[in-house]
Amino acid sequence: MDETLTELFAVIEDRKETLPEDSYTTSLFTHEKGENAVLEKLGEETTELILAAKDDDREELSHEAADIVYHLLVLLSMKGMDLEDLEAELETRR
């Protein structure tokens, strides 16, 4: 899983730098709302995750969890953070 997150974060960072057209990630970095668009998506996806958990829908729960992780990684990138920052914080909580 660590490799998957590392690869995903690398793609997000690349999209932030190269801004390829027709990329959803690019649209988040260039959206006129900027950070607010990502924060809104995190809120929306969190609500969907809660509903999937309440309904015991494992497939939807997995899907929404992945959406949250993706948008969280985009937010970290926007704020100049990386996976090491997240990992360091998690380590302090162990």
CATH code (residue 30): 1.10.287.1080
How far apart are alpha carbons 73 and 36 in whole angstroms? 15
pLDDT at 10 over 90: yes
17 within some domain = yes
73 within some domain = yes
Give the pair of three-digit tokens for residue 92. Answer: 């302090």
| pLDDT band at residue 1 using 50, 70 and 90 as cut-offs | low
26 within some domain = yes
pLDDT at 26 over 70: yes
Amino acid identity, residue 8? L
Residues 71-79: what's their mean pLDDT? Answer: 97
16 within some domain = yes
Please name the residue that has the structure tokens 């690869």: 7
Q: Provide the domain count of the chain.
A: 1
- List alpha helices for the chain, DSSP H: 2-18, 24-30, 35-54, 58-78, 83-92
48 within some domain = yes
Q: What are 28-43's pLDDT values in tens digits?
A: 998 777 899 999 999 9
Dihedral sign, Cα of residue 81, residue 28, residue 10, residue 1: positive
21 within some domain = yes
94 within some domain = no
The larger pLDDT score, comparing residue 33 to residue 10, is at 10
Average pLDDT, the chain: 94
Phi first, then psi: what are they for 30, rounded to 5°? -110, 0
Residue 9 contacts residue 73 (beta carbons within 8 Å): yes
91 within some domain = no
Residues 60-77: what's their mean pLDDT? Answer: 97
Residues 64-73: what's their mean pLDDT? Answer: 97
Full domain range(s) for residue 65: 2-86
